[in-house]
Structure 1
Amino acid sequence: MDNKEFLDFLLRRFKIEREKFDRSGVYAYTQRLLAYNSNKIEGSTLTEEQTASLFDNGTLPKSDDYYRAKDVEEMNGHFLMFNKMLDTLDESLSQELIKQFHFELKSGVFEDCANGYAIGDYKQRPNMIGMHQTVRPENVAREMYLLMDWYDDQMANISVLAEFHARYESIHPFQDGNGRTGRLILFRECLKKGIVPVVIEDTNRNEYLEALKKYREENGLDKLIGLFEKEQQFYFEKCKYFL
């Protein structure tokens, strides 16, 4: 099976299984896989089993442990963001669409609303990645315009998507949720451009963060490209079960 056949299969099954509320196929698997790993990278305490239960039936398994409300809210938000991505695949990537993804992810998160974070809009307060300064709020729209303008002129491949992702994360346009929106955009653009999708596993979190750091400090993309290629193979191998 070549890339085109694989992507056609994914898009067809995503549509059919979602419409039929099928929780046993590749659509549900991908929802759970992407949401679990992307949230786990950001510190979510929910397990794979808990993520699956939340997606499958909206409940969490009985446990003696406490569940952190924000983790549950953000997991549900990720499920909604993924569906929004599927609903808008015929649209070109834009700043407005990226803001819509952020709104789906964050609009149900009480803590972010209580903290006065901009939901579905760019950040209003400076933020950092560890000790690294990101683009100041007043410059985000301009930097995002430049990024989108550059991307529109590219023939998308895994190297271009790696650069887009690294630049997006360096801008850090939202108060919170930058990693999750960025990884969702990465998955989307792979689907849209006929490229095997990338799902960053939490087990590769350190490699991922080091690759982003190398771009910030040296403009180096080799580590990120190598990781993306490895994660493409991981997702393809997992999805072969459903073929």
Structure 2
Amino acid sequence: MNTADFIRNLLERFKIEHTKRDRSGVYGFSQRLLAYNSNKIEGSTLTEEQTASLFDTGILPKTDDYYRAKDVEEMNGHFLMFNKMLDTLDAALDQQIIKSFHFELKSGVFEDRANGYAIGDYKKRPNMIGILQTSLPSQVPEAMTELLNWYHTQDVSLKTLAEFHARYEIIHPFQDGNGRTGRIILFRECLRHDISPFIIEDANRPEYLEALKAYRQNGTVTALTTLFQKEQEFYFNQCEYFFAE
């Protein structure tokens, strides 16, 4: 199956299975895989099995341990963000769409609301990535405008998406949830531009962080593009099962 056929089949199944609330096919598989890995990269304590149970039934398995409320709320938010991503595929990426992803991810997170975080809007307080300073709140609207203007002049490729993602992470437009919104954008834009989509696995988190660091230090996206290619192959191979006869 070539890339064009893969994406066409994927989009068709996503639409049908999402509409019919069929969680047994490639839509449910992709929802669970992306939500688990993207949240895990950010420190979620939920396992793959717990993520699957939450998505499939809305119930978490009994455990002798406890569940962290924020992890559950953000996992449910990620499921909603994926659906919003599918609902907006006909439109070119813009700031309102990006903000809508953040709203879906974070609107049900009590801790963020209690902390006064902007939900579905750009950050109001400066924040950092480790020891790295990101764009100040006053700089974010202009920085995002510049990033999107640049992006829409490109012949979008995997390399383009790698640079977009690295620049997006440096801006860090939201108080929290930047990585997860950034990664859903990658998945969406692959689908829109006939690029084989991918999901960054938590197992590759060290490689992913080093690749983002490489861009900050020398402006190269070689390592990030290489990782994306590896993840493309993984996701494609996993999805082939759903299209076999």
* TM over 0.5, shorter chain: yes
Deviations 1:206-235 (A, max 9, x none): 000010011011111110000000000000
**Distance in 2 of aligned mates of 1:23 and 1:98:** 25
Give unpaired runs (5+ residues) of structure 2: none
1:228 is matched with which residue? 228
Q: Cα deviation per residue 1:81-131 (whole Å; 9 max; x = unaligned)?
A: 000000010011000110000000000000000000000000000000000
Cα distance in 2 for residues equivalent to 1:172 and 1:158: 21
Quote the residue 1:123 is aligned against: 123
SS at match of 1:62: coil
Q: Percent identity?
A: 70
CA distance in 1, matches of 2:187, 2:70: 24
Aligned to 2:186: 186
Where does 1:43-82 land on structure 2 (aligned, <5 Å)? 43-82=43-82
Q: Deviations over 1:59-80 (max 9, x none)?
A: 0001111000000000000000
The whole-number CA distance in structure 2 between the counterparts of 1:43 and 1:182 is 16
CA distance in 2: counterparts of 1:163 and 1:60, whole angstroms: 38
Write the letter of the residue equivalent to 2:14.
Answer: F
Query: How far apart in 1 are the matches of 2:229 and 2:170?
Result: 21
Q: Counterpart of 2:125 in 1: which secondary structure?
A: coil
Q: Please provide the CA RMSD for this pair.
A: 0.5
Aligned mates of 2:185, 2:199 — CA distance in 1: 11
Q: Residue 221 of structure 1 aligns to which amino acid in structure 2?
A: V
TM-score normalized by structure 1? 0.99
Partners of 1:223 and 1:44 lie apart in 2 by 25
SS at match of 1:155: coil
**Structure 2 counterpart of 1:180, which letter?**
R
Q: Distance in 1 between matches of 2:159 and 2:88?
A: 24
Residue 128 of structure 1 aligns to which amino acid in structure 2?
M
TM-score by length of 2: 0.99
**Structure 1: unaligned runs, 5 residues or longer:** none
| 1:143 alignment partner in structure 2 | 143
Is residue 2:210 matched to residue 1:210?
Answer: yes
Q: Any idea what the Cα deviations from partners look like across 1:119-149, whole Å, max 9, x if unmatched?
A: 0000000000000000011000000000000
Instruction: Check if 1:87 corresponds to 2:79.
Output: no
- Within the alignment, does 1:30 sit opposite 2:30 as a pair? yes
Deviation sequence 1:137-185 (CA, Å, 0-9, x none): 1000000000000000001110000000000011000000000000000
Distance 1:19 1:219 in 2: 42
Q: For residue 110 of structure 1, what is the amino acid of its counterpart?
A: F
